[in-house]
Amino acid sequence: AMTASECLTAAEATMFLVECEKYDLKEQATGCAKIIASNFHSVMEGDNGFIYKLKPHSFTQMIDSDELFVKTEDQVFALALEYVK
């Protein structure tokens, strides 16, 4: 069987994460957050407006992931500051 990370692109995962939150699909939201975290750098280079639609729990879960792929920690810090505004 294929895992979610083999089926969804990071762009698709961002869209599905917002939808998973609407319907309280925790397991699926966690899978989407992992995909986004592992592709975080490329996601941030694109349209990252979806981040501001996330619930605080999903946002913190994503940026706290051990699989978070970023160029620098400053990138995450700047995003966190923007998120809390």
What global pTM score does this model have?
Answer: 0.75
* Res. 4: pLDDT tops 70: no
Rounded Cα distance between 28 and 44, Å, is 21
pLDDT digits (tens, 9 = 90+) for 17-35: 989 999 999 898 888 888 8
Q: Give 26-77 as a DSSP string.
A: HHHHHHHHHHHHHTHHHHHHS--GGGGGS-HHHHHHHHT-TT---S-HHHHH
CA atoms within 13 A of residue 60's CA, in its CB half-sphere: 4
pLDDT digits (tens, 9 = 90+) for 40-85: 888 777 777 888 888 898 888 888 888 888 888 898 898 899 888 8
pLDDT band for 3, please (50, 70, 90 cuts). low
